[in-house]
Amino acid sequence: RDEGGMLRFRVLGSGSDGNATLVEGGGGRLLLDAGLGPRQLAERLAAAGVDPGSLDAILVSHEHGDHTRGASAFSRKWGVPIAGSRATMAAADFPAEKLPPLRALEPGATLAFAGLTVRAVPVPHDAARPLAFLLTASGATFGHATDVGHVSRSLVEALLGCHALLLESNHDPAMLRDLSLI
């Protein structure tokens, strides 16, 4: 575990088969989305030199399976709490009685995990209450926004101060076709 505060991230999976990103900084360690199966998540974390049980939380951006597929089973097996918007948690139908306590994270709110601070930002997407995350440690900020339906002014303003950014958009054939006409 990085106790020195350096902010680091590593993409463990991206795309329709499953999304997951490891973020470490300020003594905190988070998994952003858990769209891979729990065994595959554990293997990819181990390959990154991370004990799955050392995570402080799983932050869930929205309820779609490619972002939540392994969250519940991973949480239960390794004792890692899940955090996300209340609407996302309800839509994902996480079995709260079988998991470590779920943590609500609403747009504009922040949570702290050791010296790693997370601020939730609303994202335009066809989900219950999807979120992007701004993670800050030791003066550095990492922005994480997936399945962005379109880039809103408020999202751009939130991401402006980031030192690093992971931005993923929806695959939209009609939008791609229309852009090719420009």
Q: What pLDDT score was predicted for residue 79?
A: 96
Q: What pLDDT score was predicted for residue 124?
A: 75
Task: Give dist(CA 147, CA 67) in Å, integer.
Answer: 10
Alpha helices in the chain (DSSP H): 38-47, 65-68, 71-78, 86-92, 153-159, 173-180
Closest by CA position to 166, among listed 141, 139, 137, 138: 141
Q: What pLDDT score was predicted for residue 78?
A: 96
Low-confidence stretches of the chain (pLDDT < 70) are 1-5, 170-182
Q: What pLDDT score was predicted for residue 178?
A: 66
Length of the chain: 182
- Tens of pLDDT along 26-49? 999 999 999 999 999 999 999 999
Q: What pLDDT score was predicted for residue 176?
A: 57
Residue listed under structure tokens 């939008």: 175
Q: What pLDDT score was predicted for residue 1?
A: 47
Q: What pLDDT score was predicted for residue 7?
A: 95
**Cβ-based neighbour number of residue 139 at 10 Å:** 8
Task: Give dist(CA 132, CA 119) in Å, integer.
Answer: 8
DSSP of 65-81, one letter per residue? HHHHTTHHHHHHHHT--
Residues 6+ apart with CB under 8 A from 76: 98, 99
